[in-house]
A and B are shown apart, each in its own frame.
Chain A
Amino acid sequence: MHGFMTLFKKEILRFWKVAFQTVMAPVLTALLYQLIFSHVLSQHVEAYPGVSYTAFLIPGLVMMSMAQNAFANSSSSLIQSKITGNIVFLLLPPLTALEFFGAYLLAAIVRGLVVGAGVLAVTAWFGLPLPSHPLWILTFAALGCGVLGTLGIVAGIWADKFDQLAAFQNFIIMPLTFLSGVFYSINSLPPLWKTVSHLNPVFYMIDGFRYGFFGQGDVSPWLSLAVVGGSFAALASWSLYLIGSGYKLRQ
């Protein structure tokens, strides 16, 4: 247990010591999206009845930032340790696969939540109403960060080089988050693309998270919970298996 706590603390300090890059930068990026998209689109789109586009956009941006940063935290920490070789300091001690996984996962969730809180703080004054279901908000925030944090662990273990990780990020994570209804309601899409969106687990994270703010979404929050929870359970089992088997970590 102390091994887990130590690794968790180390992972928190790792991103906190460079918070300008790991927290401030994504908050600023989200603020820019908010400024630009709300300026361009606020007159044209009303996503839900009674919900302005400007307000609709905020939870989407918050969840997207959380997801991307949770992924970035675990994946970049692991690949840096692997490439510089200092991962050996984690492989020599008797840490269990669960301690290893838990520490990276929890640190990724914390980074995601800190960034999410930051994005919320700078965008909420664009007109976000008071949340109607705070518990749903917290549940989807934590689970969404958990899914992407776990995916980051898998990607960090799998990738041997920075460009492989960048490819994973640019060709999988970015499309999944951008095409998940961050910027639009999928009900506005043609039927084919609507169906495709329903296959994207990130869509359910954002929809469930948004439901917490507005009390309405594209699908039921329970369905979203089942999809996001199921994705997390599957990815976590896979990730634990990889760590336990020593895949790419112990030759």
Chain B
Amino acid sequence: MTHAISIESVSKRFGSLQALDSVSFTVAQGEFFALLGPNGAGKTTLISAMAGLSRPDSGHIRIMGHDTVGSARQARMTLGVVPQELVFDPFFSVREALVFQSGYFGIRRNDAWIDELLHKLGLTDKAGTNMRALSGGMKRRVMVAQALVHRPPVIVLDEPTAGVDVELRQSLWAFVQELNQAGHTIVLTTHYLEEAETLCSRIAMLKKGKLLALENKDKLLAHSATREISLKLAAALPASLQPLKVREADGRHILQLADIARLEDVLRELRLAAVEVRELSIHETDLEQVFVKMMHGGRV
């Protein structure tokens, strides 16, 4: 089956800055894919190149098999992009903005779908409101609707929940999940790692224009599963366990284990030293820890 997105050795340089350095990966149809990385990692540059807003210096990008340079029109028809920056046309109402956006994609009489988008995004009662009069969150919703007017099979959301209140974030994700279940391929970048962790099945991490990791989410978490346990003891930590200790917090010893199976060894040592365990808890690694670790140079 054709890949929803195929990126082949894409490089892009702005002056002395290597924004993208030979990035390659593919996204399958129907995937929910996260693109993560700190500011300046090249996420937006990559999205711009997918959307035809910028042209790679070398390499190719195909959206549903259409080259973004050679078959730009078809590629754009199959892609819906929600840009990161909050932008709007102050001259028009919400409905006008959506009717115009449909028209640019060559679609006439799109009212039924526009009504549905307005409804799903909670914008129905704002349809006649001028864009200027909307709150930031509402403007963001309109941008999502604008990206979907042509029912693109591939949808890219660049930081869609930045500066958006909790309620909207939840309703937006519910809607995006619904789109994904209906068969749309979703790619998102986000600063909220828990969003990527809950929603996405596969994750790419970028740093300084390079692809640092590309994994199934569970695999990524499992790889870096240096689990930590927190122990509250009745006596001092036995000397044999000192090498495992990473820190102390609230009178608890935090030990790092390479594998959860090593827990048994720890408990045996404690029994041998006759130290009573008052409290024991296990901390699972989350994406945020993996992310921070990778961005500080550690490879998974």
B52 pairs with A3, CB closer than 8 A: no
Measured CA separation A18–B90 after assembly (Å):
12
How far, in Å, is B36 (CB) from chain A's closest CB? 23
Q: Which residues of chain B are within 8 angstroms of A3 by Cβ–Cβ distance?
A: 103-106
Kindly identify which residue among A90, A91, A94 contacts B106, using a CB–CB cutoff of 8 Å: A94
Kindly identify which residue among A94, A95, A246 contacts B55, using a CB–CB cutoff of 8 Å: A246
Q: Which residues of chain A are within 8 angstroms of B54 by Cβ–Cβ distance?
A: 250-251
What number of A residues sit within 8 Å (CB to CB) of B?
28
* Known interface pairs A94-B73, A250-B52, A251-B54; A88-B87 also in contact (CB < 8 Å): yes
Residue B168 interfacial (CB < 8 Å):
no
Residue A14 interfacial (CB < 8 Å):
yes
* Known interface pairs A93-B76, A94-B73, A251-B53; A88-B105 also in contact (CB < 8 Å): no
Q: Which residues of chain A are within 8 angstroms of B76 by Cβ–Cβ distance?
A: 92-94
Within 8 A of A (CB), among B178-224: none
How far, in Å, is B282 (CB) from chain A's closest CB? 47
- What is the chain B residue whose CB lies nearest that of A14? B91
Interface centre among A2, A88, A92, A96 (most CB of B within 10 A): A92
Residue A43 interfacial (CB < 8 Å):
no
B53 pairs with A250, CB closer than 8 A: yes
Measured CA separation A10–B100 after assembly (Å):
7
Measured CA separation A85–B88 after assembly (Å):
8
Interface centre among A2, A5, A13, A18 (most CB of B within 10 A): A2
Interface residues on B, range: 35 or more
Q: Which residues of chain A are within 8 angstroms of B103 by Cβ–Cβ distance?
A: 2-3, 5-7, 9
How far, in Å, is A80 (CB) from chain B's closest CB? 9
- What is the chain B residue whose CB lies nearest that of A17? B91
B77-85, B115-123, B159-167 - the one binding chain A:
B77-85
Q: Which residues of chain A are within 8 angstroms of B90 by Cβ–Cβ distance?
A: 84
Cβ contacts B267-283/A at 8 Å (1 or 0 each) = 00000000000000000
Q: Which residues of chain B are within 8 angstroms of A125 by Cβ–Cβ distance?
A: none
B101 pairs with A93, CB closer than 8 A: yes
Measured CA separation A86–B108 after assembly (Å):
22
Kindly identify which residue among B52, B81, B87, B100 contacts A6, using a CB–CB cutoff of 8 Å: B100
Residue A89 interfacial (CB < 8 Å):
yes
Measured CA separation A251–B85 after assembly (Å):
16
Kindly identify which residue among B87, B91, B105, B108 contacts A93, using a CB–CB cutoff of 8 Å: B105
Within 8 A of B (CB), among A54-101: 81, 84-86, 88-96
> 3 tightest CB-CB pairs across the interface, nearest first?
A6-B103, A93-B104, A85-B87
Give B contacts to A, CB under 8 Å. 14, 48, 51-55, 72-74, 76-77, 79, 81, 83, 85, 87-92, 96-97, 100-108, 146-147, 150
**Listed A/B pairs (12) with beta-carbon separation below 8 Å:** A1-B106, A2-B106, A3-B103, A18-B91, A86-B87, A88-B85, A89-B97, A89-B101, A89-B104, A94-B77, A250-B53, A251-B54
